[in-house]
Structure 1
Amino acid sequence: MKTIFDEAVRAELIARIQLLSPSHQPVWGKMNVSQMLQHNTYWNCWILGQGTHTYKQAFLGKVFGKIALRKMIKDEQPFDKNIPTSAQFKVTNTTATNLEPEKASWVALLKAYQQYSNPRFIHDFFGKMTKEEIGVLVYKHTDHHLRQFGV
């Protein structure tokens, strides 16, 4: 199973991020490439514990979270297209930005997983997760959005 904690996997994802350009259009979904980069930067800051984030599991997550997590990370199957995202991760600014600083931020965040330690982390739906579960989830989330833009 691929995980963000594997150096070769991180390198492959970073190489794919470097391919992104303003001309990339989504294969599915509503985000433009700039929004996708901002979404991933914010999302990874949340996982890594950078910035001010509240970690609390939603009620529905307490009921269904662990079942959904196991289903999502049980094998190499990529995430489905158009899976819902929590409101806190939706980027509403549709103005295109300079992609290079956002790409550099995302790459730096992926590299930070080399020293991952965020014992406060609680996923808003899945709840408390093991480091192994986090590693697979981060890989799959990153791969999902890169596939969304054809890279």
Structure 2
Amino acid sequence: MGSIYSKADNEIVISRINKLTPESKAQWGKMTVDQMLSHCQAPMDFAFGKTPMRSNFIMRLFGKMLKGKVFSSTEFKKNSPTAPAFIRTGTYDFEETKNGLIERIGVFSDLGQKALKTTKHPFFGELTYDEWSQLQTMHLDHHLKQFGV
């Protein structure tokens, strides 16, 4: 698995994103391609400190119990649950949303670990820089696979 902080690894991810079209269809799940591109920006915006999120004690406890299982895997399961703040139901401009995701990936390439404004995940709790990278990379890979790229 690549690193979200690596320019070379991110160029591979960006080339996959560039294979998407407005007509790309999901192989599973309910999102459209524009919703997926917007959805993938949301956890990055949280990591950059742009979108505050809170979770209750029960969710944090549950997240800590699942943390080991999630981080010992190399991919997310199909139809995995997501934070309500990350759910997208609207319609988004494809090119604008695609470019927004690519820009955010570039922030990780350009700034590396300094891109993160928090190490505390609202569900999993405290994460290392490597765990943040793994989570972001797995998330992008999951959704790009969802749309066949």
> Match of 1:132, SS?
helix
| Structure 1 residue 101, shift from structure 2 partner | 1.4
Structure 2's unaligned 5+ residue stretches are none
Superposed, 1:1-151 pairs within 5 Å as: 1-49=1-49, 51=50, 53-76=51-74, 78-93=75-90, 95=91, 97-114=92-109, 115=111, 116-117=113-114, 118-151=116-149
Counterparts of 2:9 and 2:71, CA distance in 1: 16
Counterparts of 2:65 and 2:20, CA distance in 1: 34
Change (3 A) 1:57 1:127: farther
Provide runs of 4+ in structure 1 moved above 6 Å: none
Task: Decide whether the 8 Å contact of 2:47 with 2:117 is kept in 1.
Answer: no
Counterparts of 2:53 and 2:118, CA distance in 1: 7
Q: TM-score, normalised by structure 2?
A: 0.88
Counterparts of 1:119 and 1:48, CA distance in 2: 5
Task: Decide whether the 8 Å contact of 2:34 with 2:94 is kept in 1.
Answer: yes
| Structure 1 residue 58, shift from structure 2 partner | 3.0
Counterparts of 1:47 and 1:14, CA distance in 2: 19
Task: String of CA shifts for 1:88-115, please: whole Å, max 9, x gaps.
Answer: 111121x3x3311111110110111131
Task: String of CA shifts for 1:8-41, please: whole Å, max 9, x gaps.
Answer: 2211111001111011111000101111111112
Structure 1's unaligned 5+ residue stretches are none
Change (3 A) 1:41 1:62: closer
Counterpart amino acid of 2:16?
R
Counterpart amino acid of 2:43?
W
Task: String of CA shifts for 1:114-140, please: whole Å, max 9, x gaps.
Answer: 313334342221112110100000000
Counterparts of 1:70 and 1:103, CA distance in 2: 32
Counterparts of 2:93 and 2:54, CA distance in 1: 33
Task: Decide whether the 8 Å contact of 1:56 with 1:127 is kept in 2.
Answer: no
Change (3 A) 1:88 1:59: same
| Structure 1 residue 6, shift from structure 2 partner | 2.4
Q: TM-score, normalised by structure 1?
A: 0.87
Change (3 A) 1:57 1:125: same
Q: RMSD over aligned Cα, in angstroms?
A: 1.7
